[in-house]
Every structure is written in C-alpha cells, then in structure tokens.
C-alpha cells in the first residue's frame, strides 16, 4: 500500500499500488475517447440496464460453496444428491433457499439468482483455472495442463476490477478498485486473477487485508504529523519542474504523484476505513467476523465514491475446511457440519445485513452486489473422485452453479435459468461466466465493444466471448 515517510519520498512501487484510481497520465485520453464513442452510439443500441450501476461490490466466495445446499435446493432428488438441508420459503413467491440461509430468505425480494452458470475450465477441475476465468473473462494460457495456478505476472490479462478502474475510474480523491477480506489463493500461489497485468500497476487494487474486527492501520492513507499537505504538494511541484523535458514516462509518473496527493487530500478513503464511526448495533448486524466487517467496509467505500470493491472470503480456495468463522468453502469432507455450523451463518448474516443496509441508505439501486464462487460442488455426495472427496463431502463442480445479483437496477425476487433435477447441468438459459462479466461491465456503463491492447498491440475484448445476459432487467 501507499506509504509516505517523514522525508516525503514516495517510491515508484508504492505509487503504482495505490489501487485503480483513474490515473491521469496513461489512461485519460483512452478513457475520454471511449466515453465519447459510447455517447455517440446513443442508448438505443446498449440494451436495458446500461449504466444503471454506479458501483459494484463483488463478494468472491473462494473455495466455492455448494450451490445445491445454499441456492438451488433439490428436495425431490435422491438423498445422496439433495443432502441434509431442507428448503425454506423466502419473501419471493416460489423462490426457495437452503435452510442454512434464514436471514437471506427475508431479503429474497431484493436479489435474483442465476442457477444455470456453467463452464469447462482449461485442464482439470482445479480452482486456479476457474478463478482466472471468472476474474479476467479469458482462458488462462500459461497455467499448467492440470489447470493449477501460476504466480501473477505482468503478462496476465487484467482482472475485472482493473478493467473497471481503466474504463470507469472513480472520481478524483476516491478509489476505483479495492480488495478486502483476504488474498485470493490457490496452494502457494497468491493473487490469482486479481491484478492489472498488461494494463500496468496503476490499475492494481488497493489491498486492505488487515482484520477489520480490530482497529485498522491507516498510515498508508495519512501523512506523518510533521508533514503538511502544502509541503507535500511543494515537493510534487518541484519534481514536476525538474522532470520537464524528460521522457513521457517521467511526465506520466508525475500524474501518479498528483493522484496520490488527491487521495490523501480528500481523506474520503481514510474515513471509509474508520469502522468505529458505525454504531455497535450496526456492526453486530453484519457479524463481528472478518467477512462481515469487510462487507461493512465495502458499503462505506461505496458511499465515498469507490467504484469496484471486491470482498474475498478470508480462507484460500483449496484450504482444508476447519471449524471457525474464517474457514474454507472447499468442503471435500464434512460438507454439512461445516456449512451448517460455520460457513453459512457468517455468510448469511453478512450478506443479508449488506443488502438491508444498502437499501435503507438508498444505495442499492445504484450499487450492484454480486456473490459467487469459482464453481459449484458435485451433486452426488461422497462420490470418490480424483479430488480426494471424503465422507459427506462434495467435489469441485464447474459444470453448473449459482450466482446472486442484487441492486444496480436488476429486479429482485426472481430466478434466471434452471439446473436439472440433480443440480448437475444447466437445463434452461445456460450462462457462461464470461456472460456474467459482460453483464457487470454493461451495468457499470462500459460498452461491451470496448477494446484494449496487449503487449503485442493486439486488440483484446473485455471478455473472450459471450455477451450481456438477456432478460435480467
């Protein structure tokens, strides 16, 4: 994260990790050109819902919960498929959830479930390839033949958050792309599909993975006591004068300094992280857990102008599930006690509180909330597989799973698509993860025809294939 030492020396590495602030130097001409082109096209060719969302909260449930046990119950299937949980009614007629989501059942009129997402990841059904596809909208080209992750690099294609920071940056003084909760991990690899890759470090997320149940360290967003804003601005101005006549890269870099200054000067971001400004009652409504308080942070950041806030579930994607509020969703074993006693109570409480809080503040209509894992879990319980499923466990299952969408102009209380009787494959209105990403860009007012250039100057679409999901609006 950005830090400013007493001598006010800001390193290039620090400034480039300020997070996806729409930095003036490298991207502003492209952004303005894109906005002019979209305006010239007129609204008639964009379809319903274009630009309805001003911001997006992306709840990434790494490790992936069982869609059958949470979102898509199958009460008429054989017991080895339907599992231990009974379906419960919700505030949306005909929409049923698993009994482990009682609080969300009272918010169903505010969300839509897509029950027909499916994908075939590159290689085996491992987490890494599925994460990369979900986060970037492209198949990974450099992963292992088994689909296992490789460390992030500048050759990667940009994440959705980075693309939003590039093409729909936040206003000056606010953060465009923020990541909370915990880093995305598969095994020893951290940061899968999270960074800007070929777009450059200016569009990387501002990462805050400290435990928000404790006071957060905000040194990165404040000045030392012996440094004033005037003194810092003077340093920046002096550096700009000294660098005139040098390379364009140096001139562009001055823009990073000025944007970093504006972030500190506005103090909006720093205030967003001060959770002690909320009442104890509201904080408790989200749950005094890392995920719950990260969801509350996301709401506070959105209120203060952030564009794309990603809340990652704290445990890594393939971490062994254990008891406790921060354990993994990767339930190869003991699926039902882990969901019933730990995972679902934390998730249910936090998301229900987030939706209710956004609605009460008048923010839900302009804030799109997304909750999804990288895939679902296998319909048949305890079936022996190559992924070491044990008693009462469910395996990885990218062929069919569910996503929750709320706000951003999408009507609630509905189900889009359907899975088959076992929850194994889409039966109606299949949706690819790339269609989902295209829909998120569309909701934020980024035209799906937008392109950017890779290192070889080849044009790249926002997503490799697919388009906006019809019928959501």
What is the distance between the alpha carbons of residues 469 and 441, in angstroms, rounded to a whole number?
11
Question: Which letter, b or e, does each residue of 369-399 get, where b requires 16 or more Cβ atoms within 10 Å of its Cβ?
Answer: bbbbbbbbbbbbbbeeeebebeebbbbbbbb
Distance between CA atoms of 380 and 219, rounded to whole angstroms?
49
CB-facing half-sphere around the CA of 166: CA atoms within 13 A: 28
Residue 438: per-residue pLDDT:
98
224 phi, psi to nearest 5 deg: -60, 155
What residue ranges in 172-318 does DSSP mark as E strands?
A: 177-180, 185-186, 189-190, 206-208, 308-312
All structural domains of the chain, each given as residue ranges with its CATH number in brackets, are 12-461 (3.40.720.10)
Report the predicted TM-score, pTM, of the whole model to 2 decimal places: 0.86
Q: Which residues pair with 431 in a beta bridge?
A: 117
Q: Is 348 in contact with 373 (CB distance < 8 Å)?
A: no
Q: Rounded to the nearest 10 degrees, what angle do helices 229-243 and 248-266 cross at?
A: 170
pLDDT of residue 36: 53
Strand partners, 414: 112
Q: In whole angstroms, what is the distance from residue 177 CA to residue 156 CA?
A: 17
Most distant CA pair in the chain, distance: 74
- pLDDT of 173 reads 85
In angstroms, the CA 187 to CA 184 distance is 10
pLDDT, residue 145, reads: 84
pLDDT for the residue numbered 23 = 35
Residue showing tokens 């911001």? 55
What pLDDT is attached to residue 11? Answer: 41
* pLDDT at 434 (0 to 100): 98
pLDDT score of 386 = 61
pLDDT (tens, 9 = 90+) of the chain, 473 residues, equals: 333 333 333 344 333 333 333 333 334 445 445 545 544 544 445 778 999 999 999 999 999 999 999 999 999 999 999 999 999 999 999 999 999 999 999 999 999 999 999 999 877 788 999 999 999 999 998 888 888 899 999 999 999 999 999 999 999 889 999 999 999 999 999 999 999 999 998 899 999 999 999 998 877 676 555 556 555 556 555 655 655 555 444 444 444 555 555 555 557 778 899 999 999 999 999 999 999 999 999 999 999 999 999 999 999 999 989 999 999 999 999 999 999 999 999 999 999 999 999 999 999 999 999 999 999 999 999 977 667 788 899 999 999 999 999 999 999 999 999 999 999 999 999 999 999 999 999 999 999 999 999 888 999 999 999 999 999 99
């Amino acid at each position: 994260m950005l830090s400013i030492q007493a001598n006010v020396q800001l390193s290039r590495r620090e400034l480039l990790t300020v997070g996806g602030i729409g930095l003036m130097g490298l991207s502003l001409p492209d952004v303005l050109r894109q906005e002019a082109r979209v305006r010239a096209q007129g609204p008639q060719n964009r379809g319903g819902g274009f630009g309805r969302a001003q911001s997006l909260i992306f709840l990434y449930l790494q490790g992936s919960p069982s869609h059958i046990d949470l979102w898509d119950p199958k009460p008429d299937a054989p017991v080895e498929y339907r599992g231990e949980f009974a379906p419960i009614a919700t505030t949306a007629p005909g929409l049923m959830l698993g009994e482990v989501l009682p609080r969300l059942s009272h918010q169903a009129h505010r969300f839509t479930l897509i029950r027909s997402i499916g994908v075939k990841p590159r290689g085996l059904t491992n987490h890494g390839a599925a994460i990369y596809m979900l986060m970037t909208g492209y198949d990974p080209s450099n992963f292992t033949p088994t689909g296992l992750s490789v460390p992030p690099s500048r050759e990667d294609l940009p994440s959705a958050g980075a693309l939003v920071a590039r093409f729909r940056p936040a206003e000056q003084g606010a953060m465009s792309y923020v990541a909370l909760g915990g880093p995305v991990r598969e095994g020893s690899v951290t940061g899968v599909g999270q960074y800007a890759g070929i777009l450059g470090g200016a569009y990387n997320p501002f990462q805050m993975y400290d435990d928000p149940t404790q006071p957060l360290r905000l040194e990165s967003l404040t000045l030392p006591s012996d440094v004033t804003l005037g003194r810092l601005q003077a340093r920046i101005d002096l550096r700009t004068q000294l660098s005139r006549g040098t390379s364009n890269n140096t001139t562009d870099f001055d823009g990073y300094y000025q944007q970093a200054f504006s972030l500190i000067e506005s103090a909006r971001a720093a205030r967003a992280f001060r959770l002690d400004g909320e009442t104890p009652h509201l904080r408790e409504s989200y749950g005094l857990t890392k995920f719950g308080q990260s969801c509350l942070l996301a709401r506070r950041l959105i209120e203060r102008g952030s564009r794309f806030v990603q809340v990652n579930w704290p445990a890594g994607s393939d971490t062994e599930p254990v008891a406790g509020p921060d354990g993994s969703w990767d339930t190869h074993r003991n699926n039902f006690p882990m969901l019933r006693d730990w995972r679902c109570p934390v998730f249910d409480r936090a998301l229900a509180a987030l939706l209710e809080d956004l609605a009460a503040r008048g923010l839900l209509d302009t804030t799109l909330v997304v909750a999804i894992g990288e895939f679902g879990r296998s319909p048949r319980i305890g079936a022996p597989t190559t992924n070491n499923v044990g008693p009462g466990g469910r395996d990885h299952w990218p062929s069919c799973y569910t996503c929750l969408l709320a706000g951003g102009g999408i009507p609630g209380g509905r189900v889009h698509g359907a899975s088959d009787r076992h929850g194994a494959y889409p039966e109606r209105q299949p949706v690819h993860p790339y269609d989902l990403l295209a829909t998120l860009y569309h909701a934020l007012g980024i035209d799906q025809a937008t392109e950017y250039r890779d290192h070889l100057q080849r044009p790249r679409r926002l997503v490799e294939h697919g388009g906006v999901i019809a019928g959501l609006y």
